[in-house]
Each structure stands twice: as structure tokens, then as C-alpha cells.
Structure 1
Amino acid sequence: MLYLIDEPMAEIGCRTAATDGDGIVVLIQDGVLLDPDLDVPTLAVERDVEMRGVTLPERIDTVTYDELIELVVDHEVTSFV
């Protein structure tokens, strides 16, 4: 499952993703300002990171919007945006 997480719904999104051992979290829009401590792969949209001028922790990788589209096509998606 692919979890898209933005700031307003971050708490419930992260709680939900934390219970999915096969999940992938993508921080999007203001979600890139978060620093979730999850045991699932966590990504952040590169353009959103650049626009907000944040530095991500090393455990969070970035994805382009094109890569995000590929992930959305390849996975079932739950949106907390």
C-alpha cells in the first residue's frame, strides 16, 4: 500500500502506515515538513522539499513527481492529503 501523507492528516496517516509492514509512505506538500519515525520506507516529493527549503533526515529519500506517478500506478493508494 502506498500512503500519501500531508500535514493536516499526518497523525492518522502515520499511525495507519505504521501498521503496514509492506507500506510505503510518501510525504507530499506540507507533509515534507514532518519527520515521521516509521519502520516503512519513507519518501518525500523532491519539488515540495525544494519549495519549502527543508533538509530531510537521511532516512527519507526523495522522489520526483514522475516517480510518484509510477508508484501510484504500481500500488494501491491510501491518501491522507
Structure 2
Amino acid sequence: MSSEAYVAVLRKLNEIAYQQAIDPVGIEILEPARNPQQSTTWPLALRLAVAALGGLVVGVGLTLLWDRFVARSPGWRMRAPVH
């Protein structure tokens, strides 16, 4: 069924059921969400894995920057206590 015919049928059914006109733009906005093959929702475990991997990458990057710039400065090194 073409999209124009589909919208026309939905509009007519809505007018019969609710006795009011339906917004055709609203139908076009909601239509892609009804197609399960176009769904972009990720499972929770996958989202957590991606977040953990991102945190690991950021942590390693910050550690490398710390070692490169801060830990090499002469005032930062820990010195053995003098007895």
C-alpha cells in the first residue's frame, strides 16, 4: 500500500472513530517508529559495555598525559625522607 493511500485510510478511520480530523504530519512522524527493523535502540548490556570501553580509553589517555607532563616535572617527584 502506498504511503498516500495508507495515510488516507488512517485519516478516514480516525475520523470515524473519534469524529475529528487527524494531522497527516503526525502520522508521518510516528510511522518510522512503528517499523521494528528501523529501530535504533540498543540493549542495556551493550550500552554499558560501550560506556565502560569509553571510560577505559579516557582513563588511559589521562594517565598517559599525567605521566608525560605532570609526573616529569621536578617539583612533583616523591623524594625519600631524609633521616
TM-score (norm 1): 0.23
Q: Which has the larger radius of gyration?
A: 2
Higher relative strand content: 1
TM-score (norm 2): 0.23
